[in-house]
Amino acid sequence: MSSQRENILAIATKLFYDQGYNNTYFYQISEALNITKSLISYHFTTKSQLAKEVIEKFSVQNKNRIAFKLYQNYFFNNKYDLQLSTAIEIRLSTTLILSDPKVARYIKESADGNFEDMFIEHYKSFYKIHDRQYHLNINRQNDEISLLARGATAASNAIIIDFINNSLDCTLDECLDYIVEMNFRFMRVDEKRINQIIDKSKEVIDKVGFELSPYFVIE
C-alpha cells in the first residue's frame, strides 16, 4: 500500500472519529495532507469506500492486537481455542462501538448513509477460519460462507444500531451476550457449548485486561 494511501487512511480515521462520518469531507483530508482532492479520489472513489476501508483497517489491527495479547497472557499457558478467541474478539469489538460515543456515532452515521457492507469481509474471514477448524455443517456448493457472513453482518449491525438508538430494553452486557451467541448459532454450534464460550470469554477478558482507546483502538 502506498504511503500516500496510508496517510489518507490515517487522517480519515482521525477525522471520522473526531467529527463523525457526516461532517467529514474530502477537502478536509486534502487540507490536512496538503494534497488535492483529486488525489484522494484517485485512491478512494467515494467517501463510503474510504469509510469502509477505515473500518476494515482498524478491524484487522484490533483483531491482531487482541490475538497477540491473548497469546501473551492466556494461550501461551493454555490450549488454543479458536471459538473462545473469536467470542472475545466479537465481544471487545462490539464493546468498543457501544461504549465509545464517538465510535457509536461513526457507525450509526455510516449505516444511515447506506454503508451496507460494514464488516462483511471481517465476518467472511472468520467464518472461513472456523469452517477449516471445525468443518461447519454448511452447504459449500451455494457459498453458504458468504450467506452466513452477510446474515451475521446484517443481524449484528441491526442490533448495534438499535442499541445505539436506545430501541432495545436490555443492558450492555445482555446485548453483548446476545451478539456473541447469535454468531455461534449461525455456525450451528451446540447451545451448551455456546453458553460455555460466553462465560469463559468474559472470564478471560477480565483476567487478561484490555483497554479501549480513542481512534478505534483496542489494546
DSSP string, 51-114: HHHHHHHHHHHHHHHHHHHHIIIIITSS---HHHHHHHHHHHHHHHHHH-HHHHHHHHHHHHTT
Over range 193-208, report the average pLDDT. 97
Which pLDDT score is estimated for 112?
67
* Strand pairing category for 217-218 and 212-213: antiparallel
Which pLDDT score is estimated for 125?
79
Q: How does the average pLDDT of the chain come out, rounded?
A: 90
Q: What percent of the chain has pLDDT over 70?
A: 94
pLDDT at 216 exceeding the cut of 70: yes
**pLDDT tens track for 152-169:** 888 888 899 999 999 999
pTM over 0.85: yes
Which pLDDT score is estimated for 78?
93
What single DSSP character describes residue 71?
I
In the block, cell 467529527 appears at 19
Which pLDDT score is estimated for 111?
75
8 Cβ contact partners less than 8 Å away, ≥ 6 residues apart: 29, 33, 40, 43, 44, 50
Distance CA 30, CA 44 (A): 12
pLDDT at 217 exceeding the cut of 90: yes
> Where residue 12 falls among pLDDT bands split at 50, 70, 90?
very high
| β partners of residue 213 | 217
Q: What percent of the chain has pLDDT over 90?
A: 68
| β partners of residue 218 | 212
**pLDDT tens track for 86-135:** 999 999 999 999 999 999 999 888 876 555 556 667 777 778 888 888 88
Residue 130 near residue 164 (C-beta atoms within 8 A): no
For domain 51-218, is the CATH number 1.10.3470? Answer: no
Distance CA 66, CA 80 (A): 14
What single DSSP character describes residue 217?
E
140 Cβ contact partners less than 8 Å away, ≥ 6 residues apart: none
**pLDDT tens track for 142-153:** 678 888 888 888
Which pLDDT score is estimated for 8?
96
Residue 120 near residue 111 (C-beta atoms within 8 A): no
Distance CA 176, CA 183 (A): 11
